[in-house]
């Protein structure tokens, strides 16, 4: 399993799930659980949707697979058009991969190809943020700024530079606008230090999901993009979590965060998790510099056996149909303020130090001593203790150290949000009591 605890290899105590239904999963003992994290931020339309099962079966019978090196298939072509229609600006060229890591990896490999073909092989540096997450290939793991992912891997890379996470902490005495100025200045200074002629890519999630749903100050992405434009740096927006409705839009970059990037990567919600698929949409203008009349580089030899897999693409088309037919984007936009309001109410608990939310993704951060600067080792055990109690009460939580992430299926109703937050509240109370009684 991913992130396996090696001392307990083969003895995994994870719950065995029997089936899913709507926003619920049911375990082998018949326990019905709200899927708080939406699988891993991906079960947008919920479980047990006949439309997706039918699309999968029909496509598996019609054409299960053929090589994307030699042939094209209708679902991949149709999906590329559908995705291009929803992306901002001129991001109209779509490439399919097998998931999020391979989508980001492809974006980074494209930047290598692009700068080599343009005759500037020294332009290879990638700038990323601390607390970001971009995947589990060698290169994308090296771009991930969560220290917990690093131990015992040789992923440090001379090509990668980390800048600050855009996590705003009012306690530090700066206004949000001043903090934003600092972040932009740090970015500019980092580029100057490396040399703009050497910086190829700025890679950023619109909100840092696995870092704990960190929402940057208003205007952050547009300011960072402006710096990128001045230095001919490719801006890659990693929408693996925020894409496909999570923030109430097909893509969040422009509609929610005010930036038209050069490349958008996506995965997860594109199929609501029914089958694996990822991809990226690239700006026509960017691509034009190395293709058509300007092509000097021969083949872009990057791809996967399952690029544009017809069955996955058919599932994604059916998923987009359901999102449209059921008005799920409108539903997310309508429900989001209530979802945030209910989570923010948890701040009345003494150990809840911060709550952040956007669309239907949120994070509740807990610390036993709310006045402490940083979470302690004990705080970092709180999340899994809260998860344990919530599980007994009927809710799966995604614990990230001292943080609980909520990213439920987008079809969740107002009443189900109430149930989810009520259980989370009880779980937090029980976990903090446990901690206090055990000293």
Q: Which residues contact ligand PMP (rule: CB under 6 A)?
A: 40, 99-101, 104, 133-136, 205, 209-210, 238, 240-241, 267, 278
Count other C-beta atoms under 10 Å from residue 186's C-beta.
12
Q: Which is nearer to ligand PMP, 134 or 389 (CB)?
A: 134
| 410's tokens | 């987008």
Within 13 Å and on the Cβ side, how many CA atoms surround 248?
17
Q: Which is nearer to ligand PMP, 107 or 367 (CB)?
A: 107
Is 339 in contact with 413 (CB distance < 8 Å)?
no
Smallest distance, Å, CB 175 to ligand PMP?
28
Q: Which is nearer to ligand PMP, 73 or 101 (CB)?
A: 101
Distance between CA atoms of residues 90 and 352, nearest Å? 42
Smallest distance, Å, CB 174 to ligand PMP?
27
Is 224 in contact with 188 (CB distance < 8 Å)?
no
The residue number with the shortest CB distance to ligand PMP is 100
State the DSSP H helix or E strand holding residue 84, giving kind and residue range, or none if neither.
Answer: helix 74-86
Smallest distance, Å, CB 144 to ligand PMP?
8
Smallest distance, Å, CB 205 to ligand PMP?
5
| 312's tokens | 């996955």
Q: Which is nearer to ligand PMP, 42 or 290 (CB)?
A: 42
Residue 295 has phi, psi (to 5 degrees) of -70, 120
Smallest distance, Å, CB 148 to ligand PMP?
13
Q: Which is nearer to ligand PMP, 407 or 432 (CB)?
A: 407
Query: Residue 46 burial by CB count (10 A; 0-12/13-18/19+): exposed, middle or buried?
Result: buried
Smallest distance, Å, CB 102 to ligand PMP?
7
Q: Which is nearer to ligand PMP, 52 or 290 (CB)?
A: 52
The alpha carbon dihedral of 122, 153, 110, 300 has a sign of: positive
Query: Of the candidates 195, 220, 234, which has an alpha carbon nearest to the alpha carbon of residue 107?
Result: 234
Is 397 in contact with 77 (CB distance < 8 Å)?
no
C-alpha angle 97/132/400, rounded to 5°?
105
User: Strand 398-400 relative to strand 403-406: parallel, antiparallel, unpaired?
Assistant: antiparallel
Query: Residue 258 burial by CB count (10 A; 0-12/13-18/19+): exposed, middle or buried?
Result: middle
| 175's tokens | 């206004």
Q: Which is nearer to ligand PMP, 74 or 164 (CB)?
A: 164
Q: Which is nearer to ligand PMP, 83 or 352 (CB)?
A: 83
Smallest distance, Å, CB 291 to ligand PMP?
26
Smallest distance, Å, CB 241 to ligand PMP?
5
Residue 313 has phi, psi (to 5 degrees) of -65, -35
Q: Which is nearer to ligand PMP, 106 or 432 (CB)?
A: 106
Q: Which is nearer to ligand PMP, 309 or 389 (CB)?
A: 309
Smallest distance, Å, CB 49 to ligand PMP?
20
Smallest distance, Å, CB 73 to ligand PMP?
22
Within 13 Å and on the Cβ side, how many CA atoms surround 311?
16
Query: Of the candidates 46, 104, 366, which has an alpha carbon nearest to the alpha carbon of residue 240?
Result: 104
């Amino acid at each position: 399993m991913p992130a396996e605890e090696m001392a307990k290899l083969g003895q995994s105590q994870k719950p065995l799930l029997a089936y899913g239904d709507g926003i619920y999963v049911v375990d082998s003992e018949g326990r019905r659980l709200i899927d708080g994290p939406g699988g891993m931020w991906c079960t947008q339309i919920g479980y047990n949707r006949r439309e997706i099962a039918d699309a999968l079966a029909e496509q598996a019978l019609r054409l299960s697979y053929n090589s994307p090196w030699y042939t094209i298939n209708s679902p991949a072509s149709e999906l590329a058009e559908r995705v291009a229609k929803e992306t901002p600006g001129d991001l109209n060229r779509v490439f399919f991969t097998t998931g999020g890591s391979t989508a980001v990896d492809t974006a980074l490999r494209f930047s290598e190809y692009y700068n080599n073909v343009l005759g500037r092989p020294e332009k290879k540096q990638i700038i990323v943020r601390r607390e970001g997450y971009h995947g589990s290939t060698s290169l994308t793991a090296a771009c991930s700024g969560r220290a917990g992912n690093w131990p015992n891997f040789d992923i440090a890379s001379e090509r990668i530079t980390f800048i600050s996470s855009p996590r705003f902490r009012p306690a530090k005495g700066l206004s949000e606008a001043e903090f934003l100025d600092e972040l932009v200045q740090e970015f500019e200074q980092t580029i100057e230090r490396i040399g703009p002629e050497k910086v190829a890519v700025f890679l950023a999630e619109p909100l840092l999901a696995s870092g704990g749903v960190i929402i940057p100050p208003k205007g952050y992405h547009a300011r960072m993009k402006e710096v990128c434009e001045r230095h001919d740096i490719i801006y890659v927006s990693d929408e693996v979590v925020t894409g496909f409705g999570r923030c109430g839009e097909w893509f969040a970059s422009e509609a929610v965060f005010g930036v038209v990037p050069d490349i958008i990567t996506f995965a997860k919600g594109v199929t609501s998790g029914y089958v694996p698929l990822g991809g990226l949409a690239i700006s026509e203008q960017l691509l034009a510099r190395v293709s058509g009349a300007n092509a000097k580089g021969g083949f872009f030899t990057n791809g996967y056996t399952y690029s544009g897999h017809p069955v996955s693409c058919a599932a994604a088309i059916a998923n987009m149909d359901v999102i449209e037919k059921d008005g799920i984007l409108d539903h997310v936009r309508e429900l989001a303020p209530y979802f945030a309001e209910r989570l923010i109410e948890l701040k009345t608990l003494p150990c809840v130090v911060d709550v952040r939310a956007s669309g239907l993704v949120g994070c509740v951060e807990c610390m036993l001593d709310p006045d402490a600067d940083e979470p302690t080792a004990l705080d970092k055990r709180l999340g899994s203790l809260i998860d344990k109690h919530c599980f007994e009460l009927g809710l799966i939580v995604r614990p990230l150290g001292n943080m609980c992430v909520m990213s439920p299926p987008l079809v969740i109703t107002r009443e189900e949000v109430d149930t989810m937050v009520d259980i989370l509240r009880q779980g937090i109370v029980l976990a903090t009591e446990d901690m206090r009684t055990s000293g």
